[in-house]
């Protein structure tokens, strides 16, 4: 689970992923259905086709209809590859979805089962939605540019939250109400998203990969009885990376015993000769009921010469101790 991105975070993520033809529709930052239901936490990003084509679709996605008010998605992608930013917050795009379908994306399973008939999950709360202009008619191909941007959009969502490509789902994979939405091979699509996520943001497949990254995947050491109210280093089974180096990736953490609603902050930190030499931007989370899952992401960082990269966090709750249950780093770095 993750807190939804802010509009500013989403714009940065898109641009970092190489999406340049962007139309910010007037009012998109506050266009949502938050007054009708909860928005977040999220752990899925859905792709749809419009089942129709035409120049009026961006406005339709923004406004909706009397029967189904907008926004009808978060982003709308036309056949030229132009991306319209439609809404930020809860959107009327998914409706209710099957529990087994949502479990697949939540657990990042490579198997996406046929959805059950019962639909107890609020998909509008849990998933982002990308609408793509396509009639859905048999044989109606997506343009190469449109397909490329769709992959970049979904990769950007996954990269920011530290999700794998298996958090991408089609509307038809979530409900029986949409048997061909979209008419797209989702296994191929997720494979293309995964390929993007294996490279640095902004990677272009037609460029020579002369500077291939190295991987760093140490695990987080479980540690009980950690105090609140102070910055705590995340203990790892090995180092992340020693500079000079550029890096991109996420360190996943699982905390137990943190009161629901408690504020948690996390950041990357560098140490040189055992002393803290630089700290990164702070990201903030709210603890959830049960265990709390964090993904501390940096899509484009740099470690200074002779500095060691690490992660630290603080729980703003002085009354109780908590447990660091575990986690793992998924980091790419370039020397």
pLDDT tens sequence across 38-47: 999 999 999 9
154 and 13 share one domain? yes
Q: Across the chain, what does the average pLDDT equal?
A: 93
Residue 236: give its domain's CATH number.
2.60.120.660
183 and 230 share one domain? no
277 and 193 share one domain? no
- Total domains in the chain come to 2
117 and 32 share one domain? yes
Residue 83: give its domain's CATH number.
3.40.80.10
167 and 45 share one domain? yes
Please give the pLDDT value at position 257.
Answer: 93
Evaluate if residue 209 carries a pLDDT over 70. Answer: no
In a domain, 179, yes or no: yes
Please give the pLDDT value at position 1.
Answer: 73
Task: Identify whether the C-beta of residue 259 lies closer than 8 Å to the C-beta of residue 224.
Answer: no
Band the pLDDT of 202: cuts 50, 70, 90: confident
Task: Identify whether the C-beta of residue 164 lies closer than 8 Å to the C-beta of residue 30.
Answer: no
> What domain range is 114 assigned to?
7-197
Evaluate if residue 210 carries a pLDDT over 60. Answer: no
Task: Give the mean pLDDT of 14-28.
Answer: 96
What residues are paired with 283 via a beta bridge?
266
In a domain, 43, yes or no: yes
pLDDT tens sequence across 97-116: 999 999 999 999 999 999 99
59 and 174 share one domain? yes
Evaluate if residue 131 carries a pLDDT over 80. Answer: yes
In a domain, 209, yes or no: no
pLDDT tens sequence across 264-280: 999 999 999 889 999 99
The residue ranges of DSSP E strands in the chain, in sequence order, are: 22-24, 45-49, 75-77, 83-85, 96-97, 121-122, 128-132, 168-170, 214-216, 223-226, 232-233, 245-256, 263-272, 275-279, 283-286, 292-303, 308-315, 322-334
Residue 205, C-beta contacts closer than 8 angstroms, at least 6 positions apart: 195
Token pair 């991987």 in the structure block, residue: 215
Cα(317)–Cα(234) distance, integer angstroms: 18
Domain end marker among 148, 171, 197: 197
In a domain, 141, yes or no: yes
Evaluate if residue 82 carries a pLDDT over 90. Answer: yes
In a domain, 48, yes or no: yes
132 and 35 share one domain? yes
pLDDT tens sequence across 276-326: 999 999 989 999 988 999 999 987 889 999 999 999 999 998 778 999 999
190 and 323 share one domain? no
134 and 223 share one domain? no
Task: Give the mean pLDDT of 181-189.
Answer: 95
155 and 34 share one domain? yes
Domain end marker among 168, 197, 226: 197
153 and 88 share one domain? yes
In a domain, 114, yes or no: yes
Evaluate if residue 9 carries a pLDDT over 70. Answer: yes
239 and 286 share one domain? yes
Cα(48)–Cα(180) distance, integer angstroms: 9
Domain end marker among 148, 166, 197: 197
In a domain, 206, yes or no: no
Q: How many CA atoms lie within 13 A of 101 on its CB side?
A: 28
In a domain, 208, yes or no: no
Please give the pLDDT value at position 207.
Answer: 58
Q: How many CA atoms lie within 13 A of 311 on its CB side?
A: 31
């Amino acid at each position: 689970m993750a807190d939804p991105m802010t509009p500013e975070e989403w714009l940065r993520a898109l641009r970092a992923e190489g999406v340049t033809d962007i139309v910010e529709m007037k009012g998109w930052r506050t266009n949502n259905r938050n007054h009708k239901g909860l928005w977040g936490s999220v752990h899925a990003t859905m792709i749809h086709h419009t089942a129709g084509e035409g120049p009026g679709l961006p406005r339709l996605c923004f406004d909706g209809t009397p029967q189904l008010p907008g926004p009808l998605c978060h982003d709308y992608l036309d056949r030229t590859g132009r991306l319209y930013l439609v809404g930020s917050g809860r959107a009327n795009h998914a409706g209710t979805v099957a529990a087994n379908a949502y479990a697949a994306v939540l657990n990042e399973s490579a198997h996406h089962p046929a959805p059950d008939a019962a639909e107890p999950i609020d998909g509008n709360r849990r998933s982002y939605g990308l609408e793509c202009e396509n009639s859905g008619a048999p044989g109606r191909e997506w343009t190469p540019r449109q397909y490329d941007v769709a992959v970049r959009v979904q990769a950007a969502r996954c990269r920011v939250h530290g999700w794998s490509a298996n958090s991408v789902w089609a509307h038809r994979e979530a409900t029986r109400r949409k048997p061909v939405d979209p008419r797209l091979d989702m296994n191929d699509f997720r494979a293309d998203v995964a390929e993007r996520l294996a490279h640095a943001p902004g990677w272009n497949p037609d460029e020579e990969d002369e500077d291939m990254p190295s991987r760093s995947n140490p695990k987080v050491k479980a540690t009980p009885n950690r105090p609140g109210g102070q910055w705590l280093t995340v203990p790892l089974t090995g180092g992340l990376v020693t500079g000079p180096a550029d890096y991109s990736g996420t360190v996943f953490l699982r905390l137990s015993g943190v009161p629901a609603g408690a504020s948690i902050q996390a950041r990357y930190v560098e140490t040189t000769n055992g002393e803290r030499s630089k700290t990164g931007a702070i990201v903030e989370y709210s603890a959830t009921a049960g265990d709390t899952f964090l993904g501390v992401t940096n899509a484009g960082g740099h470690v200074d010469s002779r500095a060691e990269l690490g992660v630290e966090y603080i729980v703003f709750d002085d009354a109780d101790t908590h447990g660091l249950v575990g986690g793992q780093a998924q980091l790419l770095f370039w020397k």
